[in-house]
Amino acid sequence: MTDLKIRIERKAYQSHGQSFYELNSKEQFIVLGKALMEDLVPKWIDSRNKFKGKKQAYYFSAEFLMGRALSNNIINSGIDSNIKQTLEEMGVNYNELEEAEDDAGLGNGGLGRLAACFLDSGATLNLPLSGYGILYEYGIFKQYFIDGFQVERRDPWLENDSPWLIKNANESVIVEYSESEKVRAVPHDMPIIGYGGDTINTLRLWKAEAVEQFDFKAFDEGRYIESVREQNEAETISRILYPNDSTYEGKQLRLRQQYFFTSASLQDLIRKFKAEGYEDFEAFHKLHAIQLNDTHPALAIPEMVRLLEKEGLEFERAFNIVQKTFAYTNHTLLAEALEVWDKKLFLSVLPNLYEFIERINNRLIDNLKVWGIDKDRWNKYLILQNDQIHMAFMSIYATKMTNGVAALHTDLLRETVIQDWHKVYPERINNKTNGVTQRRWLLHSNPQLSGLITDTLGNDEWVTDLSQLKNLEQHLNEETLARFIDVKKAKKQELADYIQKHEYESVDPASIFDIHIKRLHEYKRQLMLALYIQDLYNRIKENPDGGWTKRTFIFGAKSAPGYYMAKAIIKFINEIANKVNTDGDVNSFIKVIFVTNYGVSYAERLFPAADVSEQISMAGKEASGTGNMKFMINGAVTVGTMDGANVEIVEEAGKENNYIFGLDAAEAIEKKKDYNPAVPLENTEGLKRAVDSLVDGTYHDNNTGMFKDIHDSLMNVDEYLVLEDFESYRQAQDQIAQDFKDEKEFYKKGFINTVNSGKFSSDRTIEEYAAEIWNVTPVK
């Protein structure tokens, strides 16, 4: 304890030239993190050494949504379990230090959070699993609302340094876009601590720098801007996650980013392979398994062929090594999310790489002929067609395995999106249902429920084996249920206090907390919940004595900066919130909150407090979802369609303990064939009035025309069957309101969801990847 105090004070003097007690909370957090790293680094080195000579897995991902690391690292490492007590003795509030840490700006949505959960599970299971990505200077953006509109501002999460990142400049590599354009990729390593501290794996993040950072001659001649131009252009590559690609320049930048980190990562692996004394690259796939997280890292395929040819291998040998090394995870059924690059744009950025894609495509053509595929069906396979490059097709063809992320998603992949590939490779396309780490999403974010579980089971084995929660079933009695309800109420009060502090809105913890938090996309149907709230508002106004159940509807979502319709929906929800929350006839029954800058740290408060989990995407559109699993683990009931992992959630916890509505995936496909939005609009009581509120003067969009565009989209197309599913959704929602009146029975459903959530641990998912795709084994 004394040693930690001494180290903390020493680090304060070293880094800030002041005593720890004179620093602000953000500075104190950084000092504490650096002090803790002194303990972690030797164990980190030991972990690297124990995996040497063994096959290792590498997760290539454009994003890793890590969240704050302080508490997670302390919990997982087990080092100095009395850190809070030590800080208390020093007169320092640990909670203030925890709040001072910025969320790492390395990810945006479920794909990035999944990657973070996977790394946690890999380390906890003592598996050699490392991550490779980009060290974004600003992440995605900080979200603000001005007049109800989303406004994006920079998120300088690295402005005050991060104690968890170690720069390894001596392992930098040069990424070559063309003969005339090269940048330096500088690695920064972040420790990924497994629970118990036995294994610390690595997330290696690349920062872009100029090969020549400063042109002294240009500066000396007075051309000051020109003297740093190369550095500025290079740093732009790792400046921000997902640049707005609605412009040609934005698309170019995104392509540069993808090549930047895949090339740097592969060069890193090849360098280490050779440094360990290996000369025959036929051994490469025996020591490396690379997982492509969606198509963002798919450029690694032709780049690996190119790098192997530089090492002296001929094309066929290089391709075979690539195919044995790589595997690909598909995360979407949406055509627009299956990346396709324009040939001309591609050549403008990566002229040297295109020929390798051509050669891979020519090999595929040879295979199509051997397979006897009719030429009129080649468009279902070809990587190069119509002057476009199809990254998903390349990712399927040039890897050993393609997996979906939920049972339904994988079935739909096989039956629709890539059914032709499934006929050719019936054993290659498999399922790996997603999961989440219970260390962050239960142990860390909900210590009250964690304590209940541990006390009830008599042990904490569930922390590393979530299937143990099933044993709670035999303890489902009055006492346990009463304690569960107390926990839920405590978390709701905590969230209410947090919302009051950050959103300046008061919410009633006794109301139903109905929460819709995820990326803003039309298929996720935030709009349907908004229309339901408008309809409910209308009904309450007409009948204020109708015995209404108190409800708080909470949204959290960011829209991509260039996604017009998503931003329009945000504006609409905020207008509804303003009307509902200021109407004295209604706001005693319902409130609407759109939390600002939704991210991991906010999510850690929202999931434990939820009564109702909104998973209402059009069936067949959500690949899996992981928010649904976090809600389930924390004892919320799901209101949702039979989509993504909702199907498996219902299989585990029972339909009777959740609220399923709407068309299923097959019915939705059939309905779309001859769908007329006017039919449900005219035949569903109250729906037209709710939809008309977009254009009848009820709400104002500041003369942008946004609300009319939403209205017209519903009336003319209704791409995601919002109107068709509305009546079924309303019935489910009204049933929730009715059931909540019997508090004990309602929360029993939530408890049963927690009991049956064991399948949805990312530990289970990673064990399946390790055994069935990567062929890597744990090392203790």
DSSP string across 208-277: EEESS---HHHHHTT-HHHHTHHHHHHHHTTTSSS--TTSHHHHHHHHHHHHHHHHHHHHHHHHHHHHTT
pTM of the model: 0.96
Residue partners of 372: CB distance under 8 A and separation at least 6: none
Asked whether the CA dihedral 698, 701, 705, 707 is positive or negative, the reply is: negative
Give the per-residue pLDDT at 2.
60
Radius of gyration of the chain (CA): 27
Cα separation, 85 vs 92, in Å, equals: 9
In what helix (H) or strand (E) does residue 191 lie, and over which residues does it extend? strand 181-193
Residues noted as catalytic: 331, 518-519, 524, 626, 630
DSSP string across 590-635: EEEEE-SS--HHHHHHHHHH-SEEEE-PPTTS----SHHHHHHHTT
Give the per-residue pLDDT at 443.
97
Give the per-residue pLDDT at 665.
95
At residue 297, what are phi and psi to the nearest 5 degrees?
A: -95, 15
With beta carbons less than 8 A apart as the criterion, state whether 548 and 540 touch: yes
pLDDT tens-digit map of 233-281: 888 999 999 887 888 999 999 999 999 999 999 999 999 999 999 999 9
pLDDT tens-digit map of 692-734: 999 999 999 999 999 999 999 999 999 999 999 999 999 999 9
484: left (phi over 0), alpha (psi -120 to 50) or beta: alpha
- Please list the ranges in the chain whose pLDDT falls under 70: 1-2, 80-81, 214-216, 218, 224, 227-228, 337
Cα separation, 636 vs 649, in Å, equals: 12
Give the per-residue pLDDT at 523.
97
Strands (E), 436-530: 512-517
Residues comprising the chain, all counted: 780
Give the per-residue pLDDT at 21.
94
The class that CATH gives domain 51-67+103-336+410-421 is alpha beta
Cα separations (Å) of 536 from 326, 530, 571? 51, 10, 19
Give the per-residue pLDDT at 727.
98
Give the per-residue pLDDT at 83.
85
With beta carbons less than 8 A apart as the criterion, state whether 109 and 332 touch: no
CATH fold match for the domains 51-67+103-336+410-421 and 438-760: yes
Cα separations (Å) of 18 from 28, 31, 113, 130? 11, 11, 37, 37
Annotated domain spans of the chain: 51-67+103-336+410-421, 438-760
Classify residue 36 as exposed, middle or buried by CB count within 10 Å of its CB (0-12, 13-18, 19+): buried
Cα separation, 278 vs 281, in Å, equals: 7
At residue 116, what are phi and psi to the nearest 5 degrees?
A: -65, -45
Tokens at 223, concatenated: 């051309």
Asked whether the CA dihedral 501, 503, 506, 509 is positive or negative, the reply is: negative
Give the per-residue pLDDT at 335.
73
Tokens at 386, concatenated: 């119509």
Cα separations (Å) of 181 from 177, 205, 240? 5, 21, 20
| Domain 438-760 belongs in CATH node 3.40.50.2000 | yes
Cα separation, 172 vs 207, in Å, equals: 9
In what helix (H) or strand (E) does residue 700 lie, and over which residues does it extend? none
Residue partners of 1: CB distance under 8 A and separation at least 6: 80, 82, 85, 86, 89
